[in-house]
Structure 1
Amino acid sequence: MRRRSLLASPALLAPLLASAQGALPARRIPSSGETVPVIGLGTWITFNVGQDPPERARCIQVMKAFFEGGGRVIDSSPMYGSSQGVVGEGLARLGATGRVFSAEKVWTSGDGAAQIEATRRLWGVPRFDLMQVHNLLAIERQLPLLMEMKARGEVRHVGITTSEGRRHAEIAQTLRTRKLDFVQLSYNPVDREAESVLLPLAADRGVAVLVNRPFQEGALLRRLQRHPLPAWAADSGAASWAQLVLQFILAHPAVTCIIPATGNVAHVRENLAAARLPALTAAQRQRIASHIASL
C-alpha cells in the first residue's frame, strides 16, 4: 500500500506519557504494571515474504527503524506465513532479542504447546512476552494451556484476539469470566463497535488492549487519501491521514498499544511519530469521526 509520508515538524511533537527525553510514549499493562510503547508493529501480510532475500532485507530495515524509533511490541501469528521466521531473522541480525516485547498467538485446534515451541524457535526468544489465543480458535483447550505456561514462567502475559469486528459477544464473555492480561481487537474511526462494550469492559477488568487493523489493512487510508487532509488537522499536529487515525485511536483511554502492519520504513517512522503528538480532546475525536464518515 502506498501512502503519503508527511511527518509533523519536531516542534509539534509532544510526548503523551514518556518520562525520558526521546523515549516513545508508553502505557501501562494493568496486570503486571509493566509499560509498553503505544505504537507497535504488526506483521500480517507485510512480513509474509517467503525466502526472497531482498524482501526479507526490506522487512529487517523496517524492524531496524522501528527499534531506533523506540518501538518494542511486535505481533505475529502462525497464520501469517513466513512472517515469524522473518521476525526471528531480523531480531538476530539486529541483536534485538532483548529489546522486543514479543507478542504471538497459538492458532491450532491440536497441540498448542508444540506450535508455540516451533514459533519460539522461529523467533529465537527464550520465551514470549505475550501469547494469545488467535481468533478464539479452540479456546477451551488453548487458554488453559497458556495459563499453565504463565504459571510456570514460560510466557509472561496471556490474551485473546479477534479481528474485523467478529465474535465480540464471545470476547466479552471471556473477558468477564477469565483473568486475562491482554485482549486484541480491531478499532479505528470507522470500526467503532468496540467502544460500546469491549473497550469499557477491558478497562473495568484491568486488561490491556492491543489494536489491530487501524487502517483496515490499508483500505481506509486508500479511501482517505483521495481527499485532502483537513486544515484543522494541524491543530493537533497531524500531518497525514495515518497520523490522524492513530491519534484518534490513542485518544481512547482503554487502548494500550496499536500494532499497524507495514513493510515500509517511511511508514513505520510516520506511525511512531504519531505517538508523540498531543492527546486529542473528545471534541477533536468526534470531529475526526464525523469528517471521515462524511467522505
Structure 2
Amino acid sequence: MNYRTLGKTNFNISEISIGTWQVGGKWGSGFDNNLADRLLNSAIDAGVNFIDTADVYEAGLSEKAVGRVVKQRSEQIFVATKCGRQINPHVSENYTPAALTKYVEESLNRTGLERLDLIQLHCPPTDVYYRPEIFETFERLKEQGKIAHLGVSVEKVEEALKAIEFENVSTVQIIFNVLRQRPSDLFFQEAQKKNVGIIVRVPLASGLLTGKFSNQTHFDANDHRNFNRKGEAFDKGETFSGIDYNLGLQAVDELKQLFPSEENLAPRALQWILAHPEVSCIIPGASNEAHITSNLSTFKLPDLTQDQLDKINDIYGRLIKPEVHHLW
C-alpha cells in the first residue's frame, strides 16, 4: 500500500481506501453485518487505513459496522462520515446548526467513537455553500472535541470551489474518473493551493469502468444503476458518472483495445486517477472480497505510459466530454 497526506488534516492515508455505500449490502438489498465485518477487516489487513461512510448508508448500519470494526483493531484507522442527507425535504433552509449538530452526535453514538476524524456535509444544496453560519457550526463541534476536521462531499466543481473558500474545510470529496475529468481543469490546482485534501469517489463509474458490463447486463430493481439513470432518485451524476449507459459501453470498448490482455479494467482506471498527484485517496466501494482484491491489485501493475494516458484522455475528449463535461 502507498500513502498520501490528506491535505491540511495531515492524516497519512492509504491511496486506495474504501467507501461503504454497499459494504454489507448493495444499494438497498439488505445489510449483512458479517459480510461488512469481513470486508472491512480484509481492507485493513491489506493496509487500508481510511474508511468513508455516511449516516444514511443502510440507515446507519454502515456507521455501526465501521465503528465496531475500528474499535476491534489495533491500527490507527481514520473514519470519515457524512451528514445532511437525512434532511427531508432536502433544501437549504432545512440545514440548521441544530439539525447538523444532532446528526453529528447521532453518528458518534452509532460508531461508538469518541471523536469523528472527518465529518463531511453530504452533497448539500448549492445555496448551503453561501451560508457561513453552517460552516461555523463545525468550529463549535471541533471545540467540543466531537470532530477533528470538516469536509464536504460535492456534486459540482462550482460547489467545490465555493466550499474551499471556507478556511475550516479540510477536504473535498468529488467524483473523478476516466469518464468524469472536469475536476482536474481548475479545481485540483485551487485545492492544492489551499492544501485541501481531495477524496475521489465513484472512481469506477458505478462499475462501468471494470469492463465487465454489456447491453445484456441485468441490474436489480433496487440497484441505483437500474432506477437512477436519469436522476429519478438523486443526482444523475452519481450513476455511471451521469453518462448514457450505451455511450459508456462504447468508451469502455475503446479502453479495452488499449489493454487487450486485461479482462478487468478497474486497476487501470484507478491507476489513471492516482496519476494525478493532487488526489489524496480513492474510495472505491466493495460488496465482496474480490472487489477489494481487484482494487488493490492496482499497485502490482506497471505504471501507465504517457502514450496510454494520452489515448485514455483522447477517448474522453472525443466521446464523453461533449456530453457531460459542462454539467458537473
Unaligned 5+ runs, structure 2:
88-94, 214-248, 321-328
2:269 maps to which of 238, 242, 245: 245
Pair 228,27 (structure 1): closer, same or farther in 2 beyond 3 Å:
closer
Alignment-derived partner of residue 112 in structure 2? 124
1:167 maps to which of 156, 160, 164: 156
Aligned residue for 2:178, secondary structure, equals coil
Q: State whether structure 2 residue 96 is matched by structure 1 residue 96.
A: no
Where relative contact order (Cα < 8 A, 6+ residues apart) is larger, the structure is 1
| Structure 1 position 69, deviation (Å) | 0.4
Q: Is contact 2:120-2:150 (8 Å) kept?
A: yes
Unaligned 5+ runs, structure 1:
1-23
Alignment-derived partner of residue 149 in structure 1? 141
Aligned residue for 1:159, secondary structure, equals strand
Q: State whether structure 2 residue 190 is matched by structure 1 residue 201.
A: yes
Q: Which amino acid aligns with 1:217?
A: S
Alignment-derived partner of residue 18 in structure 1? none
Alignment-derived partner of residue 280 in structure 2? 256
2:13 maps to which of 28, 31, 36: 36
Aligned residue for 2:207, secondary structure, equals helix
1:84 maps to which of 47, 50, 63: 63
| Structure 1 position 170, deviation (Å) | 2.5
How many residues align? The count is: 263
Q: Which amino acid aligns with 1:265?
A: E
Deviation string, structure 1 residues 20-73 (Cα, Å, up to 9, x no partner): xxxx100012314331110111112444468967x2212211111101100011
Measure, in 2, the Cα distance between the counterparts of 1:250 and 1:179: 26
Pair 259,63 (structure 1): closer, same or farther in 2 beyond 3 Å:
same
Q: Is contact 1:26-1:35 (8 Å) kept?
A: yes
Aligned residue for 1:131, secondary structure, equals strand
Pair 57,247 (structure 1): closer, same or farther in 2 beyond 3 Å:
same
Pair 195,124 (structure 1): closer, same or farther in 2 beyond 3 Å:
same
Q: State whether structure 2 residue 122 is matched by structure 1 residue 134.
A: yes
| Structure 1 position 181, deviation (Å) | 1.2
Q: Which amino acid aligns with 1:113?
A: T
Q: Is contact 2:23-2:35 (8 Å) kept?
A: no
Measure, in 2, the Cα distance between the counterparts of 1:232 and 1:261: 23
Taking structure 1 as the reference length, the TM-score comes to 0.78
Instruction: Tell me the C-alpha RMSD between the 2 structures.
Output: 2.9
Q: State whether structure 2 residue 282 is matched by structure 1 residue 290.
A: no
| Structure 1 position 240, deviation (Å) | 2.8
